[in-house]
Amino acid sequence: MIMTRASLQLLKTANFKLGLAFLSTAMLAACGGGDSSSSTSPTLNLNAAYTTWVKGGSTISGTVSGYCQGTRKQTLTPTVSGKTLSGAAALISYESEIDTLVAGSNEFCKSLYSYNGSTSNPIYFDPTNYTPITSGATKNGYPLGLVWSNQAAPPASVTAGATGTLATYEDYTGDSSRPTTYGSRTWRVEADSATTLLWVTTDTSKVYGTELLIYTSITTYRINANNTLTSLKKEVQATTIATKGAGDQTVYETYQN
């Protein structure tokens, strides 16, 4: 099986992007919890925080640990109005990334953390609700990359315990009308402090037509009282399919704020 470039990026930017050729090198990303010890949990505007995050752009920088070791810096530019490759109205953010890995890193890690800052990739969002949309790319008359569906913007008012689904997707290589993988981006809200909440997004990728899991990517953000998001961490749980027979492995990203 093969993971596309789109799937890899999705795995890496579960900060709202899907991408890579995973089945040729399956990949991952994930993040975890927060302080649920707070006795009082606020009600915050997740929709406003998410919208600000998408439109204003963001930068994450931090360490990579676990199965892979190194550093990662990713930048998403503020959005500009434009069109997808198929001519649909869109907001476009450009993503660039610089990765470093320790000497002797395995092939899986080299595939996941392979960026040197020389490329800038467009990410497309719906201009009305700011959810991810399909790029419109094709190859040989077939879809290429991630095709998004069932998009739903986060609600304006959330408290700890809220859950939802941002979107589902299928990933195409451009060589067939049949996708290689499919998955979803779900979310949940957890307690954090008297004035903040945690927003935890979970991306999953499975072999199309089966329940075979390739990876789970969990990213944790803090929802601040001023309607902004702060990226905290990511945890990528890669199955042996993704690691190409090296067993189930976990990679952690911890961001500096």
Q: What one-letter code names the amino acid at 165? A: T
> What contacts 118, CB < 8 A, 6 or more positions away?
none
Confidence of residue 74 (pLDDT cuts 50, 70, 90): very high
Give residue 40's pLDDT band: very low, low, confident or very high (50, 70, 90).
confident
Alpha-carbon distance of 28 to 251, in angstroms, equals 8
pLDDT band (50, 70, 90) for residue 34? very low
Query: Quick one: pLDDT at residue 257?
Result: 76
Average pLDDT over residues 97-115: 96
Nearest to 40 by CA among 221, 193, 154, 167: 193
Q: Is the separation of the CB atoms in 153 and 121 below 8 Å?
A: no
- List C-alpha distances in Å: 191 to 35, 43, 78, 197, 199: 6, 10, 29, 5, 9
pLDDT score for 36:
43
Say which amino acid occupies 65. S
Looking at residue 36, what DSSP letter applies?
A: T
Q: Mean pLDDT of all residues in the chain?
A: 89
Total count of domains within the chain: 1
Reported as a single tens digit per residue, the pLDDT across 130-151 is 999 999 999 999 999 999 999 9
Cβ 133 vs Cβ 90: under 8 Å? yes
Q: Whole domain around residue 136: which residue ranges?
A: 3-255
Contact 183, 169 (CB under 8 A): yes
